[in-house]
Amino acid sequence: MGVRKQFGKELSAFQALQFRIADMATELEAARLMVHRAARSLDAGHPDTTMHCAMAKRFATDAGFEVANQALQLHGGYGYIQEYGVERIVRDLRVHQILEGTNEVMRVIIARKQLHEGRNV
């Protein structure tokens, strides 16, 4: 991204883009933490494993897709060129929102668990 310029400045110098990058990194870190929690839950045989895994799958694939889509946007036309790899990541992440149970199904699993146990959300 440091190569591209706008108004005579590198794109990385614009505070709005810096904020976007910070938000993207934060979303990815939150997704990683949820996946790690789900894995620990599965390894430990925790009673909420199904819900933890559904939450992690839903959040990680949605966050990943959104971050990849924003990265494609930041790359402009170059984002669609195969040698940059961004377009493949966007395509692959979209598929993961559907495979192994759609994210809508994950929401049903989460909601049922929350409602069944009368949890406060």
Task: Map out the domains of the chain with their CATH numbers.
Answer: 48-121 (1.20.140.10)
Catalytic residue at 66?
no
What is the pTM assigned to this prediction? 0.79
Cα–Cα distance for residue pair 42/79, rounded to 1 Å? 37
Tell me the pLDDT tens digit for each residue of 51-97.
999 999 999 999 999 999 998 888 777 677 777 778 888 888 888 88
* Active-site residue (options: 29, 66, 83, 100): 100
Do 42 and 54 form a contact (C-beta atoms < 8 A)? no
104 Cβ partners below 8 Å, 6+ apart? none
